[in-house]
Amino acid sequence: MSTSLPLHPAAAATLQCWHQMIAAGDLSRLPELLHPQAVFRSPMAFTPYESAAAVNLILNTVVRVFEDFAYHRELASTDGTDVVLEFSARVGDRQLKGIDMIRFDEAGLITDFEVMIRPMSGLQALGEEMGRRLAPQLAAMKGRPA
Amino acid sequence: MSTSLPLHPAAAATLQCWHQMIAAGDLSRLPELLHPQAVFRSPMAFTPYESAAAVNLILNTVVRVFEDFAYHRELASTDGTDVVLEFSARVGDRQLKGIDMIRFDEAGLITDFEVMIRPMSGLQALGEEMGRRLAPQLAAMKGRPA
**pLDDT tens profile B62-82:** 999 999 999 999 999 999 999
Question: pLDDT tens across A7-24, in order?
Answer: 999 999 999 999 999 999
Q: What is the end-to-end Cα distance of chain A in Å, rounded?
A: 34
pTM over 0.90: yes
Whether chain B has a CB inside 8 Å of the CB on A77: the answer is yes
Interface of A with B in 104-123 (CB under 8 A): 114-123
Task: Answer whether A101 sits within 8 Å of B86, measured CB to CB.
Answer: yes
Whether chain B has a CB inside 8 Å of the CB on A142: the answer is no
Overall average pLDDT of the B92-115 stretch: 98
For an interface test with A, the pick among B4, B104, B114, B120 (most A C-beta atoms closer than 10 Å) comes out as B120
* Residues B14/B109, Cβ–Cβ less than 8 Å: yes
Residues of chain A with Cβ-Cβ distance to B88 below 8 Å are none
Distance (Å) from the alpha carbon of B105 to chain A's nearest alpha carbon: 16
CB atoms within 10 A of CB B133: 16
Distance (Å) from the alpha carbon of B78 to chain A's nearest alpha carbon: 6
Dihedral, CA atoms, B125, B126, B127, B131, nearest 10 degrees? 110
Task: Answer whether A41 sits within 8 Å of B97, measured CB to CB.
Answer: yes
Overall average pLDDT of the A66-78 stretch: 97
Overall average pLDDT of the A27-37 stretch: 97
User: Band of the pLDDT at A137, cuts 50, 70, 90?
Assistant: confident
- What pLDDT is stored for residue A143 in this prediction? 56
Task: Answer whether B101 sits within 8 Å of A86, measured CB to CB.
Answer: yes
Whether chain A has a CB inside 8 Å of the CB on B64: the answer is no
Percent of chain B residues topping a pLDDT of 70: 93
The answer, yes or no, to whether residue A146 has pLDDT greater than 50, is no
Pairwise CA distance, residues A65 & B63, whole Å: 34
Distance (Å) from the alpha carbon of B21 to chain A's nearest alpha carbon: 22
CA closest to A6 among chain B residues: B78
The answer, yes or no, to whether residue B143 has pLDDT greater than 90, is no
Q: Tell how far CA B3 is from the center of its chain.
A: 19
Distance (Å) from the alpha carbon of B25 to chain A's nearest alpha carbon: 26
Dihedral, CA atoms, A63, A64, A65, A70, nearest 10 degrees? 50
- What pLDDT is stored for residue A142 in this prediction? 64
Task: Compute φ and ψ for B25, nearest 5 degrees.
Answer: 65, 35
Interface of A with B in 25-54 (CB under 8 A): 41-46
